[in-house]
Amino acid sequence: MIAVYVVLGVLALLALWVVLAYNGLVKARNTVDEAWSGIDVQLKRRHDLVPNLVESVKGYAAHERETLQNVTVARLAAVEAGEPAAVERAEARLTTALGGINALAEAYPQLRASENFQRLQGELGAIEDEIQAARRIYNSNVQHYNTRTQQFPTVLIAGTLAFAPRDFFEVETSAERAVPQVAF
């Protein structure tokens, strides 16, 4: 009879562990999803600002149609991207295209001096900072979630219950990795 109680006790502890591990994984996954929504909000703010920025540049650099078209196409791709990996690629293209607008500002001093352009550039800079902060939060939560899904003993149930690892969100362009050239 004691052996039956011991087996029942072990089974009860095992069931309790499975419930607690499952709930921990669900909580970590939901935290990652919540952090992604923070990134999504900031990216939407950025996407909403881009048309205004393009319009302000059009008045000063109308013949730079290719640059403006690249920004518009990149914005559309970024808005339509769905999953984090696609968003990452689309946002990298948008960041590169926005760099073209910054280059235009250097070529047109009157554009750089425009109050509207300066305000939009300031807003874009603030949004970029918010995106970076949201990205850090998201990546931290992804790291925590991935660690939970890969650690023993939860790895035993994570795969079975479809808790797949998540990818980090990194928006990097080749320009960000390039070594700046300094000439005297």
What tokens were used for 27? 């909580």
Q: Which domain holds residue 90?
A: 2-177
Q: How many Å apart are CA 84 and CA 170, to the nearest integer?
A: 9
Does residue 27 sit within a domain?
A: yes
Does residue 183 sit within a domain?
A: no
Q: How many structural domains compose the chain?
A: 1
- Cα 175 versus chain centre, distance: 18
Higher pLDDT, residue 81 or 172:
81
pLDDT tens digits along 25-71? 999 999 999 999 999 999 999 999 999 888 888 777 666 778 888 88
Quote the percentage of the chain above a pLDDT of 70. 91
| Whether the predicted pLDDT of 133 surpasses 60 | yes
Interior CA angle at 66 toward 62 and 72, to 5°?
95
Average pLDDT over residues 80-101: 89
Does residue 184 sit within a domain?
A: no
What is the average pLDDT value for the chain, to the nearest integer? 87
pLDDT band for 183, please (50, 70, 90 cuts): very low
Question: 182 CB contacts (<8 Å, ≥6 apart)?
Answer: none
Does residue 43 sit within a domain?
A: yes
- Going 51 to 67 to 134 to 169, the CA torsion angle's sign is positive
pLDDT on residue 179 = 42
Does residue 182 sit within a domain?
A: no
Q: SS3 of 153, please?
A: coil
Does residue 136 sit within a domain?
A: yes
pLDDT on residue 152 = 92
pLDDT band for 172, please (50, 70, 90 cuts): low
Does residue 139 sit within a domain?
A: yes
DSSP for 57-123?
Answer: HHTT-TT-HHHHHHHHHHHHHHHH--SHHHHHHHHHHHHHHHHHHHHHHHH-HHHHH-HHHHHHHHH
pLDDT tens digits along 136-169? 999 999 999 999 999 999 999 998 899 999 999 9
| Whether the predicted pLDDT of 184 surpasses 50 | no
| Whether the predicted pLDDT of 174 surpasses 60 | no
Does residue 163 sit within a domain?
A: yes
- CATH number of the domain encompassing residue 108: 1.20.1440.20
Q: How many Å apart are CA 119 and CA 141, to the nearest integer?
A: 33
Average pLDDT over residues 98-118: 82
Say if residues 60 and 110 touch (Cβ distance below 8 Å). Answer: yes
| Whether the predicted pLDDT of 180 surpasses 60 | no
